[in-house]
Amino acid sequence: MISSEDLPPGSMQDLVRAKSREERKGLIGELRREGSERSVALLLEVLEDESWSLREMAVDALVATPELAAPRLMKLLDEGLWYSRAAAMRALGDMGHAPALPRLLALLDDTNSTIAAESGRALLALARRGQAVAVTRGILARGDAASPTFARLDRVDPDATRKLRILANREEIAEPVSEWLAREEGPERESAFAALVAERDTTLGVEWDRISGPVGD
């Protein structure tokens, strides 16, 4: 098998298309183990391939190197083919990359239905990885659009969304959002939003597997 060291940037897509499935898996596995800036660049090329299975293998490999991959995946959210952007969302959600939260919330309203659905899946993935409070507050901060947003996430994963609804019914989580919504527009409001969605579950003693209670209205 050709070593990943022999691959110049721009060559990955052509190579993987010429390989058998097992050879593709082996090559992507090698890049995952390498865990370098170069291997991340090659794996990002695979996200541009039309093959869903290849993109999924690349996503799994990128998740293993969050420090190197996350900044480049963030850039991919706003550029490139729709399925590359969708794959980037999945990777960011699976690695629990908190800085992606505001952008993922915005992409819920994307005109491409797949992008909108994948952003929902990524948000729920973030919630499972210690950021349920942040995701819940981000949804509540949408004001009148919060209820439709919960309904949209219900179609992705009703059990996970129910946990977010439970959190939304808790005063210590919802009250700061109500105060934020009452603020006037401006830089201070923007920084206050950043603080709202920066709070981790551990700060409020939230454990995803133990979330239970009434969902409210």
How many residues are present in the chain?
A: 217
Residue 163 has pLDDT above 70, yes or no: yes
Q: Which domains are seen in the chain, by residue range? A: 1-95 (1.25.10), 100-217 (no CATH)
Judge whether 102 and 174 are in contact, CB under 8 Å: no
Where do we find the tokens 């919504």?
181
**Per-residue pLDDT at 79:** 86
**Per-residue pLDDT at 50:** 82
Q: What is the pLDDT of residues 22-58, one digit of tens each?
A: 777 788 888 898 888 888 988 998 898 888 888 999 9
**Surface-to-core class of residue 9, CB atoms within 10 Å of its CB (0-12 exposed, 13-18 middle, 19+ buried):** exposed
The pair phi, psi for residue 29, each rounded to 5°, is -65, -40
Residue 216 has pLDDT above 80, yes or no: no
What is the average per-residue pLDDT within 178-204?
90
**Per-residue pLDDT at 188:** 87
Minimum mean pLDDT range among 18-27, 164-173, 206-215: 18-27
